[in-house]
């Protein structure tokens, strides 16, 4: 029996269409695309969950430090004692106090400039730390739909080739394989949507934190520049 007759015989056999049939019939290219989408999904959820847990822990430590900072008032020694290098507000405070010590003997204008530069550098470092890994989420969110679309095009191409060889061009013979090929587009969207939503959520949290850091930096700079003593901050 030649290939066209085999395909025609297969076309006349009843079959159940769906995801499992699609997975069973997919070729090496389709399998590779499915593996890539699965890997993207795993990376997305692992990165998002890790980031959310890290932000939650950091926020808890930041609240403790800011509470201690508010209670310290003008006593920078108490502020320094409350510093926790595992959270951004403490790191910013440490950098600013170090810069203030080094600039203590300078003129007021130069001292203000040195403090401002130190604060800007510290905030830039915290911004870079917050954005670590978000490029991966953005890339997955933008590329996953196209990977799924490529899988759909590839599946439709092979479905049409097989239908043409079998000579069975009726609607029921065309709609099933083409509909199965659309599964790849759906999988691409299923991977991309959580990545985009997670990216937007994390970006919003980061912007809120950076705005709070900027406000804290101004409070700290005002505390130093209004003439309050550094009193041997270690």
pLDDT of residue 233: 42
pLDDT of residue 201: 94
Q: Assess contact for 91 and 122: CB atoms under 8 A.
A: yes
133's enclosing H/E stretch is none
pLDDT of residue 230: 43
- For residue 43, the tally of other CB atoms under 10 A from its CB is 17
pLDDT of residue 45: 95
**Mean pLDDT to the nearest integer, 121-147:** 90
The residues near 182 (Cβ < 8 Å, ≥ 6 apart) are 152
pLDDT of residue 19: 56
| Residue 8 scores a pLDDT above 70 | no
Joined tokens for residue 119: 């604060």
Joined tokens for residue 135: 């490029």
pLDDT of residue 12: 46
Q: Report the alpha-carbon distance of residue 224 to residue 230 in Å, rounded.
A: 7
Token pair 């980031």 is at which residue?
51
Q: Report the alpha-carbon distance of residue 172 to residue 71 in Å, rounded.
A: 75
For the stretch 74-83, pLDDT in tens is: 666 777 777 7
Q: Which residue has the higher pLDDT, 28 or 196?
A: 196
Joined tokens for residue 214: 């900027």
For the stretch 9-65, pLDDT in tens is: 444 444 555 556 565 666 677 778 888 999 999 999 999 999 999 989 988 888 888
From the list 127, 131, 99, 130, the residue with the least C-alpha distance to 115 is: 99
pLDDT, averaged across the chain? 78
């Amino acid at each position: 029996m030649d290939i066209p007759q085999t395909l025609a015989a297969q076309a006349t056999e009843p079959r159940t269409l769906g995801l499992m049939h699609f997975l069973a019939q997919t070729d090496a290219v389709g399998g590779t695309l499915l593996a890539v989408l699965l890997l993207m999904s795993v990376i997305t959820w692992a990165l998002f969950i890790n980031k959310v847990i890290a932000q939650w822990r950091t926020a808890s430590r930041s609240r403790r430090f800011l509470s201690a900072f508010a209670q310290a008032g003008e006593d920078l020694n108490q502020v320094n004692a409350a510093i926790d290098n595992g959270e951004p507000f403490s790191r910013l405070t440490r950098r600013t106090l170090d810069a203030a010590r080094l600039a203590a003997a300078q003129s007021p204008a130069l001292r203000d400039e040195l403090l401002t530069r130190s604060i800007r550098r510290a905030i830039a470092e915290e911004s870079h730390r917050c954005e670590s890994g978000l490029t991966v989420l953005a890339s997955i969110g933008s590329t996953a739909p196209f990977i799924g679309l490529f899988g759909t095009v590839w599946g439709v191409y092979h479905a049409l080739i097989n239908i043409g060889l079998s000579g069975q061009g009726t609607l029921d013979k065309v709609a099933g394989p083409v509909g199965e090929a659309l599964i790849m587009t759906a999988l691409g969207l299923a991977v991309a949507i959580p990545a985009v939503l997670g990216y937007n959520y994390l970006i919003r949290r980061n912007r809120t934190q950076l705005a709070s850091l900027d406000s804290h930096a101004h409070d700290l700079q005002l505390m130093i520049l209004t003439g309050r003593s550094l009193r041997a901050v270690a």
